C-alpha cells in the first residue's frame, strides 16, 4: 500500500469513527470486562469477511467500512499473528490501551492501526 493509499484509508476510518466510536469502545469494554480477551481487535473491511463477529454493517450506517469484533486469540488461532509474534503484539497493544486496535483489510492485504477516540 502506498503512503497516499494509507492516508486515504486512515481518513475513511476517521470518518467512520465519528459515527461508530462509542459503539466500538463499548464493545471493546465488553470483551475485556467479560473475560473474553484482554486484546480486542476490530476488523475493518470493505466487504464482509469471516473473521470475528460483524458488529457494524456499513450499509445500515451509510459509512465506508464493515466492522467486526475479534481478539488476539482468534488472530493467533487463524495464524494471522504468528506464534512467535504474540508477545510482541501484546507489548505494542499495552502501549495503546486508550485507543482502538483496528485490523484494516484492503485489496492489498491487512495492517494493524491503533486509533485514538
pTM of the model: 0.92
pLDDT digits (tens, 9 = 90+) for 28-76: 999 999 999 999 999 999 999 999 999 999 999 999 999 999 999 999 9
Would the CA dihedral through 11, 1, 99, 44 be positive or negative? Answer: positive
Residue carrying the nine cell digits 459509512? 63
Write the DSSP symbol of residue 8: H
What are the C-alpha distances in Å from 79 to residues 17, 88, 112? Answer: 27, 15, 15
List the domain boundaries for the chain: 3-116
pLDDT digits (tens, 9 = 90+) for 11-36: 999 999 999 999 999 999 999 999 99
Would the CA dihedral through 15, 69, 105, 94 be positive or negative? Answer: positive
Banded pLDDT at 1 (limits 50, 70, 90): low
Amino acid at each position: 500500500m502506498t503512503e497516499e493509499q494509507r492516508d486515504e484509508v486512515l481518513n475513511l476510518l476517521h470518518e467512520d469513527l465519528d459515527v461508530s466510536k462509542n459503539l466500538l469502545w463499548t464493545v471493546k469494554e465488553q470483551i475485556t470486562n467479560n473475560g473474553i480477551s484482554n486484546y480486542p481487535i476490530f476488523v475493518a473491511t470493505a466487504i464482509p469477511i469471516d473473521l470475528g463477529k460483524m458488529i457494524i454493517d456499513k450499509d445500515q450506517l451509510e459509512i465506508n467500512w464493515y466492522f467486526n469484533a475479534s481478539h488476539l486469540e482468534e488472530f493467533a488461532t487463524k495464524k494471522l499473528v504468528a506464534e512467535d509474534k504474540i508477545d510482541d503484539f501484546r507489548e505494542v497493544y499495552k502501549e495503546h490501551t486508550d485507543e482502538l486496535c483496528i485490523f484494516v483489510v484492503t485489496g492489498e492485504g491487512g495492517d494493524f492501526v491503533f486509533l485514538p477516540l
